[in-house]
Amino acid sequence: MKKVKLQMQLSVDGFVAGPNGEMDWLTWNWDDELKNYVGELTASIDTIIMGRKLAEGFIPVWKERLADPQMAEFARTMVETPKHVFTKTLDDSPWEFTELATGDFAEEVNKIKSGEGKDIIVYGGAGFVSSLIKHNLIDEYHLFINPEAIGKGMAIFSSIEDRLSLTLEEARQFDCGVTVLRYRSTQK
């Protein structure tokens, strides 16, 4: 069965965005080693899942970045990788390489996981990712800890009802200040 891998940026105090969605605290001057880490992570997948809210910004931005010579190769991966966008409001996908997932949340994810091929990566906002965590649908957590504390904001672990058990598989510090913590879910 395919694994669902979450790639998520967090502040050092555990938030994915400020109270109003602010993301001006993120570290974007990634060093080559961190870029390679992300390249290896995305090489292990053949499917992206995300919520509609993120898709509305994510998909057009990566399509624009196809024209940037420094970003074109990675942008092509983001654009051409098949995507499943979870939505309750759209009836038709306005994006190429994208299917809409409108049925039962857990059933849809498990259907994608049971398919053939490589693993799945999750990109999402706090609400979408919180739902995946609450339903125990993430197998690996790749948490990019940024060297900023923002005090309050949107969290992804606040919706769990019971304890969530994770095993630390790797901790890597990068020169740009980001530390990646890779955890494996031990819940099942």
- The C-alpha angle 95, 97, 102, rounded to 5 degrees, equals 70
Contact (CB, 8 A) for 22 and 138: no
Q: What is the pLDDT of residue 106?
A: 92
Q: Which domains does the chain have, with CATH numbers?
A: 4-185 (3.40.430.10)
One digit per residue, the tens of pLDDT, for the chain of length 188 reads 899 999 999 999 999 999 999 999 999 899 999 999 999 999 999 999 999 999 998 999 999 999 999 889 999 999 999 999 999 999 888 899 999 999 898 999 999 999 999 999 999 889 999 999 999 999 999 999 999 999 999 999 988 888 899 999 999 999 999 999 999 999 76
Contact (CB, 8 A) for 185 and 170: no
Alpha helices in the chain (DSSP H): 32-43, 52-64, 72-80, 105-113, 126-134
CA distance 47 to 24: 28
Amino acid at 96: E
Contact (CB, 8 A) for 63 and 56: no
